[in-house]
Amino acid sequence: MAPLKPILYGLFCHEETDEPMHFAMAFGPKRKRIRDLVEGGGGVLMDPGERDARGDRILLCDESTSRASFFRRMCSSVPVSVDVFDCRYVEDCVSQNRLLPNLLEYRQVNSLTHPL
């Protein structure tokens, strides 16, 4: 994958509060790259098992993680009512140097339709 242009610090910060946005992603081949992008933009990438005290983190997965395996690995630490999004959302935000408004288009696992 081609290197991305420099990341705009603050890209992954809440506009109203300047607090970092929180993401979580299971370990996999793209996790380090996504961590570098999120943190370079001012955000935080948590482990999925970490407690989400604020309740607003965005769960990410990549194409190497099937929906079934994601839920097998995550079901003990992630509430059933949480959607999971493709990590390409982070890459696309960075490549366009703006927070994209279409997060739902990146949804991989819909909490309302996925049977656990």
Which sequence spans correspond to the domains of the chain? 22-109
Comparing 69 with 58, which gets the higher pLDDT? 58
Counting every residue written for the chain, the total comes to 116
Q: Which whole number is the average pLDDT over 108-116? A: 54
Sequential DSSP letters for 64-91: TS-HHHHHHHHTTTS-TT--EEETHHHH
Token readout for 95 is: 């490549």
Comparing 49 with 98, which gets the higher pLDDT? 98
Q: Which whole number is the average pLDDT over 39-48? A: 93
* CATH homologous superfamily of 22-109: BRCT domain (3.40.50.10190)
Determine the pLDDT at residue 84. Answer: 87
How far is 74 from 26, CA to CA, in rounded Å? 8
Mean pLDDT of the chain: 81
Q: Which whole number is the average pLDDT over 87-108? A: 94
CA 56-49-1 angle, to 5 degrees, is 80
φ, ψ of residue 59 in degrees (nearest 5): -85, 130
